[in-house]
Amino acid sequence: MTAKPALLIASLTLIAAIGLWGVFDSDGLVAIASVIVDEYFRSRGWFLMLTVTGMLVFCFWLAFSRFGDIRLGADDDRPEFSTPSWIAMLFAAGMGVGLLFWAVAEPLTHFEFAQGALGGPVAAEQALVTTIFHWGIHAWAIYGTTALIIAYFAFRRGTPMLVSAPITYLFPQERWARLLGWMSDFLAIVAIAIGVGGSIAMGVFQVADGIDVLAGGNGAGAALVGIVFVAMVACYLPALMTDLGSGMSKLSNLAMLLAIGLVVFVVIFGPTEVLLNSVLGSFGQYLTNAIPRGFQTFTFFDNEVASWFKSWTLTYMVWWIAWGPFVGVFVARISKGRTIREFVLGVLIGPTLFSVIWFGVFGGIGLYEALQGAGELATVAATNAERATFALLERMPFPVVTTLGTIVAAFLFIVTSVVSAAFVLGTFSTGGDPDPKPRIRLIWGVLLGVVGYAMILSGSMDAVKKLIALGALPFVFITVVLMICLVRALAEETAT
């Protein structure tokens, strides 16, 4: 059996097995995932934080080194997209439905955890800084590193857009390189499939709860969740039988425009001066805390703080790593012709600034209400995270319109993500085919649905986080190897 069919069969078999295990024994799968992930976080949490922070340092070093002027492509290639359009596509690809899900819930959750020890105002500041840290420059360093490596080798060296390409290109005659390359693609497939499955679950929870809000309910039941899941699958499966084309890009841009419209609406109709102060203040706090937080492991704190660190910070970092190969391929494809300096600064700074604005507005208004003594949003965030954003919108003018817009945006984010992920998985599992056959894409689409449904059956976002972390942990080590490969290739190029 050749390597390509072996990779396809092995990856399909494993993902199918994980998905079916989750469908028929979700409690058992979550229990196993929890044990493995908790032990890894306990013993190797320092390595994970060091790796992620290392990626950030690596990106800035490349941008301001002699390698910064190297183009991702031929020397006369120029970017296909304008910088604003490019940055908008970056953000839509990298964050998606998570923005809508955690906009209000995450800052309030951190605030409730910290206010007893820090006091209200300080806890509110730290809650925003922590949320932005989770969604900011470190996350984009993970995406940027993966995308840059794929783009450099694909456009500069002519390799397929595969995670294994740098390894097999630099060491073409080495048997260990072929084995490591095969494992790299395999682990990337696992990380993508489980990571996207988690986002499917999150999106279904969000959309179902939004529909329940419009219907005047008190919480989305299992029946409504199931209907939303079936509708989502029914929308994305037919799209897998056609060319990816520009349709997915247009739908993704529409979802992003809806998200931008929501944040502008909240600024205008909310306590405007408070929210603008919140954005500015959180930006300043983040600038001074971002790098130190990347090295913080809460070693000497009590078990409650250590548990919080594992459940949030470490889990987020692994989540971004899970999405890294998927987002990396997309970002690489739209970045041909840019210099390494342009690429790095655009990927790191543009989306991070949007995260500061997004959470400064949505988190800011939730924290403002909490500090004024209105604890309803905090209660919703603690008991039903997917409802927190809708609970905020219900307090503002035109709640039906804004709730409907949020539902549509969440639905579009998930559909476009799954369709794009199925294409990427098809490419990886067939050894680099840029246009995998429709039946391969359809199989991956079905399996992504099965994994997503398994995570829905787990019943909570905490369980979903554990499952995503389980899929991404092995890929952490591959990222280190890929960075070494890029440095070697750049050194060879500039030496000639």
Measured between its terminal Cα atoms, the distance across the chain in Å is: 39
Domain count for the chain, please give it: 1
Q: Are 464 and 201 in contact (CB under 8 A)?
A: yes
Q: Are 70 and 490 in contact (CB under 8 A)?
A: yes
Residue with tokens 């399909």: 12
Q: Are 467 and 194 in contact (CB under 8 A)?
A: yes
Torsion, Cα of 41, 349, 360, 216 (10° steps): -80
As given in the structure block, the two tokens for residue 137 are 């420059």
Domain ranges, residue 135: 3-495
Residue with tokens 């955890």: 113
What contacts 195, CB < 8 A, 6 or more positions away? 319, 322, 323, 326, 468, 471, 472
> Kindly report the CA angle at 259 between 442 and 123, in degrees rounded to 5?
115
In this structure, how many other beta carbons lie within 10 angstroms of the beta carbon of residue 117? 11
The pTM for the full model equals 0.90
3-state secondary structure 406-456: HHHHHHHHHHHHHHHHHHHHHHHHCCCCCCCCHHHHHHHHHHHHHHHHHHH
As given in the structure block, the two tokens for residue 314 are 């470490």
Q: Which residue, among 319, 310, 336, has the nearest Cα to 102 in the 3D structure?
A: 319
Q: Are 245 and 258 in contact (CB under 8 A)?
A: no
> Kindly report the CA angle at 225 between 224 and 229, in degrees rounded to 5?
115
Residue 205: HSE in the Cβ half-sphere, 13 Å Cα cutoff:
27
DSSP 329-394: HHHHHT-TT-BHHHHHHHHHHHHHHHHHHHHHHHHHHHHHHHHTT--HHHHHHHH-GGGHHHHHHH
Please list the residues that pair with 339 across neighbouring strands.
Answer: 71
What contacts 316, CB < 8 A, 6 or more positions away? 134, 135, 139
Distance CA 277, CA 281 (A): 6
| Backbone φ and ψ of 242, nearest 5° | -120, 170
Q: Return per-residue pLDDT of the chain as tens, 496 residues.
A: 345 678 888 888 888 888 888 888 878 888 888 888 888 888 888 999 999 999 999 999 999 999 999 999 888 888 887 887 777 777 666 667 788 888 889 999 999 998 877 877 899 999 999 999 999 999 999 999 999 999 999 999 999 989 999 999 999 888 898 899 898 998 888 888 888 888 888 888 888 888 888 888 777 677 888 898 999 888 888 878 776 555 566 777 787 888 889 999 999 998 899 999 999 999 999 999 999 999 999 888 888 888 899 989 998 998 898 888 888 888 888 888 999 999 999 999 988 998 999 999 999 998 988 888 766 777 888 788 778 888 888 888 999 999 999 888 888 888 888 888 888 888 888 887 777 888 888 999 999 999 888 888 877 677 777 777 777 788 888 899 999 999 999 998 887 6
Distance CA 212, CA 206 (A): 10
Each residue of 392-408: pLDDT tens digit?
888 889 999 999 998 88
As given in the structure block, the two tokens for residue 360 are 């400064």
Q: What is the largest CA-CA distance in the chain?
A: 68
Rounded to a whole number of angstroms, the CA Rg of the chain reads: 22
- Sign of the C-alpha dihedral computed for residues 374, 379, 380 and 382 taken in this order: positive
> Kindly report the CA angle at 43 between 38 and 48, in degrees rounded to 5?
90
Please give the distance of CA 33 from its chain centroid, rounded to a whole number: 20
Q: Are 36 and 470 in contact (CB under 8 A)?
A: yes
Domain CATH code at residue 133: 1.20.1740
Distance CA 77, CA 71 (A): 8
As given in the structure block, the two tokens for residue 295 are 């090295």
Residue 460, pLDDT score: 67
As given in the structure block, the two tokens for residue 129 are 């800084």
